[in-house]
A and B are shown apart, each in its own frame.
Chain A
Amino acid sequence: MTLPVHPDIETILENCAETMRTVVLPELESEWGVFCGALLTASLTYATELLKNDRGAQYFEELSAALKSIQPTLDNIEDLELAIDGSPYEIATQALVYVQANPGPASDEVNRVLYPVLMGQLEVELAATAPFMEGWGAARATRKVDESGAED
């Protein structure tokens, strides 16, 4: 999976509310407040998109189908013992780690099938986070020049 888990929407909304209440409202003029405000907006946008489309469930289905399509190949690899009750992401992990150590036709097939699925999911997830990067950029653009000697 390209992300270990999607955060649940309730948590996002609760955290946004908490940050808004304890950081943004008391400090609307502060640099930190502006920064949090920009990213809270991005958080809400991100959460809204998750509400519209359960991407996690879709990814599980995609990867399960991909694994099913190469099941005979996986079964024929003698020294690859896949977790019997493993999730698609656990099995794909085992398979792709095996591929690194065992180049050959079987590994090539595993790579050819699994890699584009996982990279496709990564690209979709990355695109979904664009509001954060835009928010970060906007906050930086409005940032006061800092003169601290101990930045992070």
Chain B
Amino acid sequence: MLSTNEKNNLEGYLSTSLGLGPVSILKVDRIAMGQSRAMYRIDIEHGVDGPKLVRRIVVRVEQWGLLGTDSSDEVATMRVLHSAGFPVAKILDYYTGNDILGQPFFVMEYVDASEISTPEGLADYVPTLHRLHQLDWQACEMDSYLEVPEGPRDAALQTVERWYRIYRWGLVGEPSPLLEAATEWLRRNAPKTERLAVVHGDPGPGNYMEKDGKVAALVDFEFTSIGDPEEDWAYLIAMRGAAAMSEDEWVTYIADKVGVKLDRDRLNYWKAVNFLKGTCIDQTAMKIYIDQSNPAPNMLMIGTGVHLGALKRLVEATIAYK
């Protein structure tokens, strides 16, 4: 939770950054289930003349490099998508210093919607994700801050190396032979990408909000890249959407909803890449737990159980020896 000092600092910052005049913080709740960032739902009171107005905002704070990302690309992407008419919360401000909350953070509008996924919401979400894949990222100048793959296999290779670099960054102690061998397998089996698209990177239930059966907000753009849209479909099917239906049902559902016919070999490859992603980014939690940047017990959980669960799936999808 925010300390008294942090709360005072944040009040001062919000009073100058939001353009609302002096701001008082009425209530702060930390949202418990978000792991990559500390998320605070904050009620503020503002207004110079006349009655005070109450407004709810969300503050998303970095966590010492947890999951190998910072907020700069995420903020840029959210701004682009909001402007392009996607259901994405409006960014109110982005602060890159450490002097207010100890880590960089950004402030966004609160969206009054639920994270609970319904069949109606899912039926709206899949076309929304497909629409994201159709976005003209060059016209939106997303290539000004996101790396663009060049060769036909570079979408896959670039993605593999991105996660491998994070693994190396987060490595404490001995290397993981299984992870290293699986990474080599992914390099050697990288498929060609037919069309580059904006890839959300963490799509599916839990990462969109819905209201009245419609998508009200897409969230969590820290892994967004320009790459192969099949990466997103694989993630949706194998990770966030796995509880909703089977892989066969998902493949049929996606084809019916948006006309995308998924190739099973490529799908299996991208599932494995997503397992690599999970394995590598989750390991960063162990690094910041051990160096005590963040002593919260969810860091230990992610760095052990979640990391190992992803590693097991990665090995089974790539180098399993029978």
Q: Give me the interface of A with B, judged by CB distance under 8 Å.
A: 1-8, 11-12, 14-16, 18-19, 22-23, 26-27, 30-32, 34-36, 39-40, 42-43, 46, 87, 89-90, 92-93, 95-97, 99-101, 111-112, 114-116, 118-119, 122-123, 125-126, 128-130, 132-133, 135-136, 139-140, 143, 145-152
Contact = CB atoms under 8 A, between A and B. Distances in A.
Contacts of B116: 145
B34 A151 contact: yes
A40 B268 CA distance: 36
Contacts of A2: 176, 178, 308, 311
Contacts of A11: 289-290, 292
Interface stretch (B107-115, B137-145, B240-248): B107-115
B296 A23 contact: yes
Interface stretch (B14-22, B146-154, B180-188): B180-188
B321 A115 contact: yes
A133 B185 CA distance: 29
Secondary structure type dominating chain B contacts: mixed
Contact-residue size bin, chain B (C-beta under 8 Å from the other chain): 35 or more
Interface string B180-205: 11001100100000000000000000
Contact of B217 (A12, A23, A46, A149): A149
A94 B242 CA distance: 34
B60 interface: yes
Interface string B76-88: 0000000000000
23 contacts: A1-B175, A3-B308, A4-B170, A11-B290, A16-B295, A19-B297, A22-B1, A26-B1, A30-B30, A31-B31, A39-B297, A43-B300, A43-B301, A93-B181, A118-B178, A125-B304, A129-B305, A130-B305, A146-B115, A149-B89, A150-B58, A151-B209, A152-B34
Nearest to A112: B321
A138 B13 CA distance: 37
B286 interface: yes
B29 to A, nearest CB: 7
B177 interface: yes
Q: Top 10 A-B pairs ranked by shortest CB distance?
A: A149-B111, A5-B173, A152-B34, A129-B305, A15-B295, A39-B297, A96-B181, A89-B174, A132-B301, A92-B177
A87 B174 contact: yes
Q: Is the interface of A mostly helix, strand, loop or mixed?
A: helix
B60 A1 contact: no
Nearest to A60: B174
Interface of B: 1, 29-37, 39, 41, 58, 60, 89, 108-116, 170-178, 180-181, 184-185, 188, 206-207, 209, 216-217, 219-220, 283, 286, 289-290, 292, 295-298, 300-301, 303-309, 311-312, 315, 319, 321
Nearest to A7: B290
A90 B217 CA distance: 45
Given A115-B321, A122-B178, A126-B305, A150 B108 contact: yes
Among the interface residues B172, B209, B304, which one has the most CB atoms of the partner chain A within 10 A?
B304
Contact of B308 (A8, A111, A125): A125
Contacts of A146: 31, 33, 114-115
B110 A148 contact: yes
Given A4-B176, A93-B181, A150 B217 contact: yes
Given A34-B32, A93-B177, A146-B33, A152 B297 contact: no
Contacts of B170: 4
B222 to A, nearest CB: 9
A151 B180 contact: no
A125 B188 CA distance: 29
User: Which of the listed residues A23, A114, A132 has the most CB atoms from chain B within 10 Å of its own CB?
Assistant: A132
Contacts of A90: 174-175
Contacts of A35: 32-33, 298
B177 A15 contact: no
A138 B226 CA distance: 37
